[in-house]
Amino acid sequence: MKSAKAKALTFVAAAIIAVCAIEGCKARKPGGATPGGVAVEKIKIGFIVKQPEEPWFQYEWQFAEAASKDLGFELIKIGAGDGEKVMAAIDNLAANRTQGFIICTPDVRLGPAIAAKAKANGLKLLSVDDQFVGADGKFMTDVHYLGISARKIGQNVGKTLWEEMKKRGWKMEETAVMMMTFDELDTARERTEGAFESLVEAGFPKEKIYKAPQKTSDQPGAIDAANALLTKHPEVKRWLVAGMNDSAVLGAVRALEGQGFNAENTLAIGINGTDCIFEFEKEKPTGFFGSMLLAPKRHGYETAEMMFKWIKDGTEPPKDTRTVGMLITRDTYKQILAEQGLLKDKK
Ligand code: FCA
C-alpha cells in the first residue's frame, strides 16, 4: 500500500500532467491538429446583433451559421439591444474562450468601449452594418468593417420613386415626399440624404420633401414619426415614401393606411428587401411598392468567413468592404430572392 505521502505525490504529478495538457492546447493555434492527430480547441466566433427581431439580422445569423457548418467553427449568436447587454455579451464570449466576434452595435458611439473590451480580452473584432464612431465623432476606420454603399443605395431609391411617379402620371402639385429619417445613425442618414439628392436632382421640389424623424429605428418608431408628419400635411393627396430600411418605410405605409391612403396614392420603397416579403405576399398590393434588396449573405457568411480565416491563418480582412442593393417589387421578388438563396421555403 502507498503511504499518504506517496499518494499525495502521485496526485500532484497527475495534476501537473493534466494542466500541461490543457496549457499545451492553449498555446497551439486554434482549429488545427497536433502532429499526432489529437484534435485541438475548435474555433469559436461570436455574432452580436442590435435587433434580433428584424428579419435582416435573422438572415445574417442564418448565413453565418451556414459558414460555421461549411468551415467547421462554432457560432455563438447574441442579441444585444443596449450598451450594457453588449458589454455583458463580450464578457460572455471571452469566458467561453471565443477568439473573435462580429457585431452590429445598438449604438455606434459604443465603438471605443467595444474596441477596448475586445482588445483587453484578446478578441478579434469585425463590425458589420453600422460603423463605429469615435469620441471625436469620426468613423473608427481602424476597426474592420463591412457595410452597405448607403448613399448610392439611397440615391437609387430616390431615382426609382421619381421614375415610378412619372409612370403613374401623378401631378407634382398633389404629391409630397415623406422622408423617414434616423439621423443619429450615419448609415441611415446617408441613405435618406441619397434619396433626397436624387429626387431633387430629378426635379422634385425640395420644399415638398418632408422629414419624419424617428425616435427609434423600428416600425413603431416609424409609425409615430409618420403620424406626427401626417397631421401637419392634410393637403397632400399622394405620398412618396423613403427611409433607412423596410421597417421605417413599412411603418409609414401603416400610418398612411390609418389615414385612408392605399396603393393608389402611396408609393413607398424600402431598403433591406428581407423585412418586406410578407408585404409582397399579401393578396392585394399595398403602398409598399418595392425595396432595395441588400446582400445578407455577404453580411453574414462573408463576415464569418473573414473572421474564421483571420483567427485560423492570420489573414487580416479588408478594413472596409461595401455591398450593393437591387430593386425588388411584388412582381420580381420571388425570382430575385430565389436567385439570391433567400427564399426561406426554398432552402
Ligand atoms: C442597419 C439597419 C438594418 C440594415 C443594415 C444593413 O443596421 O438597421 O436594418 O439595413 O443597416
How confident is the model over 232-267, as pLDDT tens digits? 999 999 999 999 999 999 999 999 999 999 999 999
The pLDDT confidence band at residue 41, using thresholds 50, 70 and 90, is confident
Mutate to test the pocket of ligand 1, among 57, 148, 187 (most ligand atoms within 8 A of CB): 187
pLDDT at 164 over 50: yes
C-alpha distances in Å from residue 296, one per residue of 251, 291, 306, 333, 341: 22, 14, 15, 15, 10
Amino acid identity for residue 123 in this structure: L
Cα Rg, the chain, nearest whole Å: 25
* Residue 114 grid coordinates: 467595444
> Among 128, 130, 145, 216, which is best to mutate for testing ligand 1, by the most ligand atoms less than 8 A from CB?
130
Q: Which of 243, 329, 276 is nearest to 56 (CA)?
A: 276
What pLDDT shows up at residue 183? 98
Q: Whose CA is nearest to atom 6 of ligand 1?
A: 129
Cell of residue 218, nine digits: 423600428
The CA distance from 195 to 192, in Å, is: 5
Confidence (pLDDT) at 1 = 42
Q: Is 104 in the pocket of ligand 1 (CB under 6 A)?
A: yes
Say whether pLDDT at 17 is over 50.
no
Among 244, 294, 302, residue to substitute to test ligand 1 (most atoms within 8 Å of Cβ): 244
Beta-bridge partners for 127:
103, 145
Here the cell at position 266 is 402611396
Predicted confidence band of residue 344 (pLDDT cuts 50, 70, 90) = low
Q: Which atom of ligand 1 is nearest to the CA of 247?
A: 9
DSSP category for residue 42: P
User: What is the structure's pLDDT at 69?
Assistant: 98
Residue 147 is predicted with a pLDDT of 98
Is the distance from the beta carbon of residue 130 to the nearest atom of ligand 1 less than 6 Å?
A: yes
**What is the 10 CA–ligand 1 centroid distance (Å)?**
59
| Ligand 1 in reach of 187 Cβ (< 6 A) | yes
Residues 271 and 12: their CA atoms lie apart, in Å, by 62
Residue 314: left if φ>0, alpha if ψ -120 to 50, beta else—which one? left
Q: Spell out the domain ranges in the chain.
A: 44-147+296-323, 150-272
Question: How far is ligand 1, taken at its centre, from the CA of residue 244, in Å?
Answer: 8
Could you check whether 44-147+296-323 and 150-272 share the same CATH topology? yes
Residue with CA nearest ligand 1 atom 5: 129
> How far is residue 326's CA from residue 336's CA, in Å, rounded to a whole number?
9
Give the Cβ contact number of residue 284 at 10 Å: 6
Ligand 1 atom 7, closest CA: 129
| Alpha-carbon gap, residue 296 to 308, rounded angstroms | 18
d(CA 145, CA 302): 12
CA of 140 to the centre of ligand 1 (A): 18
Confidence of residue 343 (pLDDT cuts 50, 70, 90): confident
Q: Does position 61 have pLDDT exceeding 50, yes or no?
A: yes
Average of per-residue pLDDT values in the chain: 91
- Backbone torsion region of residue 272, taken as left when φ is above 0, otherwise alpha when ψ lies between -120 and 50, otherwise beta: left
What's residue 40's pLDDT?
A: 66
22-31, 297-306, 316-325: least confident range: 22-31
Determine the 3-state secondary structure of 112 from DSSP: helix
Instruction: Choose among 9, 293, 322, 27: nearest CA to 149.
Output: 322
Distance of CA 172 from the midpoint of ligand 1 (Å): 31
Which residue would you say has higher pLDDT here, 23 or 105? 105
Distance 37 CA to ligand 1 centre (A): 43
Residue 132 Cα to ligand 1 middle (Å): 14
Q: Would you say the CB of residue 149 lies under 6 angstroms from ligand 1?
A: no
Residue 33, pLDDT above cutoff 80:
no
217 CA distance to ligand 1 middle (Å): 9
Q: What is the mean pLDDT of the segment spanning 122-126? A: 98
Give the fold, CATH level 3, of 150-272: Rossmann fold (3.40.50)
> How far is ligand 1, taken at its centre, from the CA of residue 108, in Å?
12
C-alpha cell at 105: 452595435
CATH for the 44-147+296-323 domain, from 3.40.50.10860, 3.30.360.10, 3.40.50.2300, 3.90.580.10: 3.40.50.2300
Nearest CA to ligand 1 atom 9: 245
Ligand 1 proximity of 246 Cβ (cutoff 6 Å) = no
